[in-house]
Structure 1
Amino acid sequence: MMDPMATTTARLLQLLGLLQAQAVWTGEDLADRLGVTTRSVRRDVDRLRELGYPVQSSRGTGGGYQLGAGRALPPLLLDQEEAVAVAVCLRLAAGGTVAGVGEAALRTMAKLDQVMPAAIRAHVTAVQEATVAIDYQGTTVDSDALLALARAVREHHQARFDYIARDGAASYRRVEPYRLIATGRRWYLMAFDLDRDDWRSFRLDRMTEVRGSTFGFTPREAPDAEAYIRRSMHSGWEYEATVRLHCPVAEVDEYVARWGTLRAVDDAHCDLQVGSQNLDAMAWWLLRLPHDFEVLDNDELVAAYARLATRTAALAGNAVG
C-alpha cells in the first residue's frame, strides 16, 4: 500500500509542474488533471504557499490559480538522474550564447554542489570530469530580452521591440510571440507580425528594447515552429544551389543537419538544397560531405569549383617532396 505522505508529495510536485507549464488554471481543470476534488486542490495550493511558492488566485472570468514570481527559490527535490542532467546543462550554459548566463551558471553549480548528497555528487563529478567543452563562438543574445519573450510566449501577451533587418533597415515591431528556437549558433523568435498581418521570424541578436505588454491574444493556428525557422534560415540567401549526392539520404543526413534541405531521389541518390552569402564558403562546405555530388542548377558554383581546382593543383605542384 502506498504511503499517503508520498502520494501527497507526488501530487504537490505534479501540481507545481502544471502551474509552471501554463499561465492560469481553473480549480476544476486542476482537479481534473490531478484526479482529485477542487477542495483537495485548494488544500494542495495552501501547502505550496507554506513551502514558499507564491501561488496567486483570482475570481471571475479569466480567473484561477497562477504561479507568481517569488522573492526566493524554494527547495528543489532532485533525484540522481535529474541532478546529473541539471549539472551537465549548467556546465554547457556556462559557455553558451546567452549574455550574462555563464557567471550565473557557475554560481548555481557551486550552490548545487553544496546541497547534493555525496553519492549523487560523485556521479555529477564523474560526468563533468569526463566532459570536455570546446569554446564555440555563437551569436550572443541578451538574457533579459530572452526572458521577456519567453514570458510573453507563455502568457500569450504581445511583445514590442526595435529590429534591424539583414539589409540594415530599422523598424519597430508589434508581434504575437509563439515560439523561441535555439539553433546552436543563434536564437530565433517565431511570431505573428501584427502590422504586416503575417508570420515572421526574428533573430534575437538583432533586437533591442525588447519588452512584453499587457495586451493578451488568442493563439492562432500556427505553422510548425521548427520547419518554419528552417525555411526562414534558408531563404533570402545571395547564392542558392541544388546538388545531387551519390548516396541515400540516411548516409548524409547527420552531416547536413540544419544547414540544408535534403530530398530523396531514389535508393542511391538524394538532392540537397543549400544557401549562403558567400559562394566560396558554400563550395568549401559542400566539399566536406563524405560523398561525391554534382551541381544541378548554379553555374557560378561550378565556376567556383574550377577556381578552387586550379588553386589546389598549384598548391599540390608546389608541395615539397
Structure 2
Amino acid sequence: MAATSARALKLLSIFGIGATLTAEELATRLGASVRTVRRDIDTLRELGYEIEAVRGAGGGYRLGRATRLPPVVFDEDQAVAAAVALQTVPAVLSGIRENAARALATLRQAMPARSRLHAEAFTISSARNYWEFPAPPIDAEVVRAVGGAINRRHLVRVDYTGDGEPVTLRLEPHDLVVWAGRWYLVAFDPDAGRWRAMRVDRITAHMPTHTPFGRRDIPHGDPVAFVMTAHDRGDAAAEWPCRGSAVLALPASTVARFAPGGSTVEYATETTCRLTLGAWSWPGLAGLLLTFDADLTDIEPAELRQALNSLRTRISKGLRPGGGTGGRTGYDRWA
C-alpha cells in the first residue's frame, strides 16, 4: 500500500506539469508496467482527481483543467530540484536572498517527511573559477517586470546601457535566456526593425505600457541559439593580466558561440571578425586563439605576436622526427 501511494503521488506530480502523456511514457517515468499505470490512474480518479483520456494522434492522459492539486505535491527528485534552485538563485538575482530562504523553509515544512529529508540533505556553497564571468546579480524587480511583459505580450520601455550612454528603447520582449552565468533578453526592436540579444543586467525597466504586440518567429527558431550566435549581445572583455585581439577568418556568429567567457566579438565581414580576449599569460592567450583553427591577421599587441612565434618554435621542435630539422610550418605566417 505504501509503494502504491508513493507511486500515485509521483504520478500526480507528473500530471501537474500539464503535459499529455501516453500510458507507455508514464510507465517509463514511473518504472512500472502499463497495467500498473492504468490501475494508479483509476486510484486517482477514485480519489476525485479528473484524469482525462485524450484520443487520436498525440493522445494519452492528462490532468483535467478544473482539477485542483493539493498545495504541495513533491516527489524526492522534485524536492532536490527545489532545494538546489532556491539556494542558488541569490547568485543570479539580487534582493531575493531572504525571500528564497523563506520560500525554502516554507516548502520544507509543507513537504511530506520523506521528500523533506531529501531537500534538507543539500546545502549548496558556490565558488567561481578563473573562467567564469557571470554578470552581477540581476535586480529581481527587472526580471519580474520583463518576465511579466513577456507573459502578457506587452511592449516594454527600457533604458539600456551598452558601450556608451544609456538609450531608451521600446521593445517587443519574447524570451529570457540564462547562458554562462549571464541573463539575456531576446527582443524585437520595432523602431530599428531588428532583433536584439541584450544583457538584462544593463536594463532599467520603465512603468508597464499595457500595449499588446503579436509574437514573431525568433531567428534560428530558438531563443537560445539566437543568443549564442549573436556577436553584439552586450558582453564585455574581462580584466586579465594579458589581453589582446586578432581578426579570425570565421563568421562572427560562429566565434560568438564558442568564444570563452569574458571575451568580445566584433563583426568585420561576412567571413571574418575580431576576437578580443584575455588570459593569465601571453602563451595562454595565443593558445586560446589557436583553438579556433582559423587564419589569424592583424594580431595585437606585439607581445601576443611574440607568443605565437614562440609557440611555433616549440611546436616545430616537437614535430621533428628524431630531433632532426624540420621545414617551416603553417605558423610562419605570423612571423
Partner residue in 1 for 2:27: none
- For the 8 Å contact 1:138–1:184, the answer to whether it is kept is no
The aligned runs of 1:69-88 (5 Å cut-off) are: 75-88=71-84
> Does residue 1:159 correspond to 2:165, yes or no?
no
| SS across alignment from 1:109 | helix
> Does residue 1:126 correspond to 2:121, yes or no?
yes
> Does residue 1:226 correspond to 2:221, yes or no?
no
Give the CA deviation at 1:86: 0.7
Q: Give the aligned residue type for 1:203.
A: R
Distance in 2 between the 1:123 and 1:12 partners?
16
Over 3 Å counting, the alpha-carbon distance change for 1:186 and 1:210 in structure 2 is farther
> Does residue 1:275 correspond to 2:275, yes or no?
yes
| SS across alignment from 1:212 | coil
Partner residue in 2 for 1:59: none
Structure 1 unmatched runs, 5+: 19-30, 52-73, 245-252, 262-271, 312-321
Over 3 Å counting, the alpha-carbon distance change for 1:174 and 1:274 in structure 2 is same
Distance in 2 between the 1:222 and 1:309 partners?
40
Q: Give the aligned residue type for 1:102.
A: R
TM-score (norm 2): 0.56
> Does residue 1:182 correspond to 2:181, yes or no?
no
Over 3 Å counting, the alpha-carbon distance change for 1:241 and 1:211 in structure 2 is farther
TM-score (norm 1): 0.58
> Does residue 1:141 correspond to 2:138, yes or no?
yes
Over 3 Å counting, the alpha-carbon distance change for 1:181 and 1:235 in structure 2 is closer
> Share of identical aligned residues, percent?
25
Q: Give the aligned residue type for 1:188.
A: Y
Give the CA deviation at 1:16: 7.6
Q: Give the aligned residue type for 2:226.
A: Y
Give the CA deviation at 1:81: 1.0
Distance in 2 between the 1:152 and 1:99 partners?
20
Distance in 1 between the 2:226 and 2:116 partners?
41
Distance in 1 between the 2:287 and 2:218 partners?
36
Over 3 Å counting, the alpha-carbon distance change for 1:231 and 1:123 in structure 2 is same
Partner residue in 2 for 1:204: 200
- Number of positions where the alignment pairs a residue of Structure 1 with one of Structure 2: 242
Q: Give the aligned residue type for 2:204.
A: T
Note the alpha carbon deviations across 1:105-135, whole angstroms, 9 max, x for none. 122222222233332232233343xx54215
Give the CA deviation at 1:177: 0.8
Give the CA deviation at 1:174: 0.9
Give the CA deviation at 1:180: 0.8
Partner residue in 1 for 2:297: 298
Distance in 1 between the 2:150 and 2:174 partners?
5
Over 3 Å counting, the alpha-carbon distance change for 1:296 and 1:235 in structure 2 is farther
| SS across alignment from 1:92 | helix
- For the 8 Å contact 1:162–1:171, the answer to whether it is kept is yes
- For the 8 Å contact 1:15–1:34, the answer to whether it is kept is no
- For the 8 Å contact 2:138–2:200, the answer to whether it is kept is yes
Note the alpha carbon deviations across 1:44-67, whole angstroms, 9 max, x for none. 53x64xx8xxxxxxxxxxxxxxxx
| SS across alignment from 2:174 | strand
Q: Give the aligned residue type for 2:215.
A: P
The aligned runs of 1:1-321 (5 Å cut-off) are: 14=15, 17=18, 35=54, 45=66, 48=68, 75-94=71-90, 96-128=91-123, 131-134=124-127, 138-168=135-165, 170-223=166-219, 224-233=222-231, 239-242=245-248, 275-276=275-276, 286=285, 296-301=295-300, 303-306=302-305
**RMSD, matched Cα:** 4.7
Structure 2 unmatched runs, 5+: 20-49, 56-61, 238-244, 251-256, 266-271, 311-335
Over 3 Å counting, the alpha-carbon distance change for 1:83 and 1:303 in structure 2 is same
Over 3 Å counting, the alpha-carbon distance change for 1:12 and 1:304 in structure 2 is closer
Partner residue in 1 for 2:316: none
Give the CA deviation at 1:233: 4.0
- For the 8 Å contact 1:98–1:142, the answer to whether it is kept is yes
Give the CA deviation at 1:85: 0.8
Distance in 1 between the 2:292 and 2:227 partners?
27
Note the alpha carbon deviations across 1:8-65, whole angstroms, 9 max, x for none. x9789857848xxxxxxxxxxxx9x9749xxxx9x953x64xx8xxxxxxxxxxxxxx
Give the CA deviation at 1:296: 2.2
Partner residue in 2 for 1:68: none
Give the CA deviation at 1:191: 0.7
Distance in 1 between the 2:12 and 2:103 partners?
27
Over 3 Å counting, the alpha-carbon distance change for 1:218 and 1:235 in structure 2 is closer
Over 3 Å counting, the alpha-carbon distance change for 1:81 and 1:284 in structure 2 is farther
